Amino acid sequence: MKENERHLGMTHMNMDHDMKGMDHSQMSHHDMAGMAMGPGHDHQDMSNMDMSHMDMDMGDGHMMHMGNLKRKFWVSLILTIPVILMPPMMGMTLPFQWIFPGSDWVVAILGTVLFIYGGAPFFSGAKAEIQMKRPAMMTLISMGVGVAYIYSIYAVIANNLFHVTPTVNNFFWELSTLIVIMLLGHWIEMNTVMNAGSAVEALGKLLPQDAHVVDNQGNTTDVQLSDLQVGQTVAIRAGEQVPADALILDGSSDINESLVTGESKAIRKTIGDRVIGGSVNGTGTITAKVTGTGDSGYLAQVMKLIKDAQNSKSKSENLADRVAGWLFYAALFAGILAFIVWLTVADLAVALPVAVAVFVIACPHALGLAVPLVVSRSTALAAQNGLLIRNRNAMEQVKKIKFALMDKTGTLTMGEFKVNHLVSFDAQHSEDDVLSLMASLEKGSSHPLATGILTAAKGKDLTFAAATDTRQETGMGQFGTIADTTYGVVSVNYLDQHHLDYDHEQFTKFAAEGNSISYLVAGDAVLGLVAQGDQIKPAAATLVASLKQQGITPVMLTGDNQETATKVAASVGIDDVQARLLPEDKERLVQQYQKDGKVLFIGDGVNDAPSLARADIGTAIGSGTDVAIESADIILVSSDPADVIQFLDLARATHRKMTENLWWGAGYNLIAIPLAAGVLAPIGFLLNPMAGAVVMSLSTIIVAINAMTLKIKTVA
């Protein structure tokens, strides 16, 4: 939550029980990628997951088992080796080829098995595309495979039974390599899920077998992780793994969250802080209340995030399908036209091989790998660098981004407040009384401002009074009753709205120092104030400078006071500042800026949820497990603003590689189809299918190499 937005009416959102907008009990096995993580399943279940048992979409709505896909690829590859070695390759006899009496029939049998077994998923996908009247990649592949098989069987029969002259060349070599390469492309696409989830798998394996549950009498009992429930209290000893997402009730320790957030430095956690299941406890012993297990825990959310991202087709993938659709019609037209023309100027013996060559050469070998290879590389790089990409289409919006709207607290600043000024305005209340009353109202809150007040009160060993009827009032602040008197911890907005008198010069002075100011009120009386300072994140200025270099205008939107916002903005290089905003004000401003260009919004994913959802690219800084998951397109797990720069660079590089690969993949077909049809026949050139196959292989290799050169820049 952001400073003063809480005072301005945003209710505290407790991540221990409020998983806003996500009903995990309704997740299907598809939602969790076949991982069997329904209610009651814990993190330990995930450590035993077989990632090979995922499903993939083999055409519109047709699912294929990941294990079957992998098996189909290897079986097809093994069958392809003798197909390549035995027959004359496209009419050419090479030194390493193995030819013996009956080898053509052996190849025909192997080719038939390949056609039926390896080609089955493509035929199924093509059927779905045709039924939807949208021929695309599967239809183009099926046409090439089908024509190659039928003509090759004809060639074997014609050569071996009827002994025709000249010998008819078969296309079993082309058929087998096409099937293997296409299966490889889809396998690579599925491996993206496993690559992206590798860190999460490692985390799951580190989870302990049991947890130390503490009852109301303080007795400790070890229970299996599968029996651990939300709301139970657990003891986490030094050196142990945290068994589940939890809220610290007692004790403090340095927690290593490197496998979860990518942050190598241990993080100091104390009462009121949250710990993530799978992180490693340091030297201290802590007692914590379980807030998430199984499908409601952080690990489950990340796994769902990865599955959702993998299932969402990007625009580039859709473009690849559209290109394949265009090529299908182009090849169909060119093949039929070539057949008619050559039948007219020559005879059937010439026309039929030319038409078949057109259909076979049109097969999208490189095109089928163009996008999956880049997506695989990009997703793996993102996961390795703490970038969780929920919506891949967001990456393709980056090149159009004109404004970067960002929150202040927790995004540009650390969100760790320290009390710099404590003032009492009432003779009957000392400064310690003011601090004690404010801490009593804020007890139990994890809000950054509340944490600063509580830390200061504990540092002075102040006693906390029993506050009843504590509540958050919209547009007001934090209120509660202590000793029959209603007190409130409010912002300056509350004082202005209720026309309460306060020292404006004093406020301006403290705010100009970069402080966020909270007032203690009782009825119409302003009893005192606390001014707290926050630290700017080291990478904030680097982020702003990088945005400007890329032609993106940075804008700060914050609920804090204007003076503090201006000071922070100036220190990081932001000129456009909008302060004292409600969450709905931020969303309105996002829409306003969108009238002039695409908007990237950067926030913490809690109070900023409406803006994250509204923006063209919503980027959540932080490893929150609730609203960020549902609202943002991109999650920056390590909470480092520099990761925004990495995301922008990776998105641009990914789009560039996809475009290059699509041109390489489609370019081969655009050139090869007319050449195979014989457009240069008048000058004596007719593309030999063998030459076409070689060019195809070269195009595929170029596409693969180009994808693997994708890298992510490291921000110093």
Residue burial 535-551, b: 16+ Cβ < 10 Å; e: rest: ebbebbbbbbebbeeee
Instruction: Give the position of tokens 């695989």.
Output: 376
Helix (H, G, I), strand (E, B) or coil at 686: coil
Q: Residues with Cβ < 8 Å from 178, sequence gap 6 or more?
A: 141, 144, 145, 148, 363, 365
User: Six-digit token pair at 489?
Assistant: 């911890």
Q: Which amino acid type is present at position 642?
A: A
User: What's the CA gap between 563 and 577, in Å, rounded?
Assistant: 10
576 in active site = no
Measured CA distances, 659 to 248, 290, 317 (Å) = 49, 47, 10
Q: How many helices (H) and strands (E) does the chain have?
A: 23, 24
Q: Report yes or no: 86 and 106 within 8 Å, Cβ to Cβ.
A: yes
Question: What length is written for the chain?
Answer: 716
Alpha helices per DSSP H over 86-227: 103-113, 120-131, 137-160, 172-196, 198-206
Q: Report yes or no: 536 and 408 within 8 Å, Cβ to Cβ.
A: no
Helix (H, G, I), strand (E, B) or coil at 355: helix
Measured CA distances, 69 to 73, 114, 201, 371 (Å) = 6, 14, 21, 18
Q: Residues with Cβ < 8 Å from 335, sequence gap 6 or more?
A: 355, 356, 358, 359, 362, 677
User: Six-digit token pair at 60?
Assistant: 């519109």
Q: What is the DSSP string of 436-485?
A: HHHHHHHTT---HHHHHHHHHHHHTTPPPP--EEEEEETTTEEEEEETTE
Closest CA to 250 of 276, 278, 269: 269
Q: What is the DSSP string of 566-589?
A: HHHHHHHT--EEE-S--HHHHHHH
| Residues paired with 387 in a beta bridge | 636
Radius of gyration in angstroms for the set of CA atoms belonging to the chain, rounded to a whole number:
32
User: What's the CA gap between 144 and 140, in Å, rounded?
Assistant: 6
User: Six-digit token pair at 80?
Assistant: 């392809």
Cis amide bond preceding 243, omega within 30: no
User: What's the CA gap between 665 and 319, in Å, rounded?
Assistant: 12
Q: 10 Å Cβ neighbour count for 694? A: 12
Alpha helices per DSSP H over 312-363: 315-345, 348-361
Q: Report yes or no: 544 and 523 within 8 Å, Cβ to Cβ.
A: no
- Please state the φ and ψ torsions of residue 527, each to the nearest 5 degrees: -90, -25
Closest CA to 390 of 11, 22, 709: 22
Q: Report yes or no: 303 and 292 within 8 Å, Cβ to Cβ.
A: no
* CB-neighbour burial class of residue 524 (10 A; exposed 0-12, middle 13-18, buried 19+): exposed
Q: Which one of 245, 273, 407, 608 is the catalytic residue?
A: 407
Closest CA to 124 of 171, 192, 72: 72
Active site residues: 407
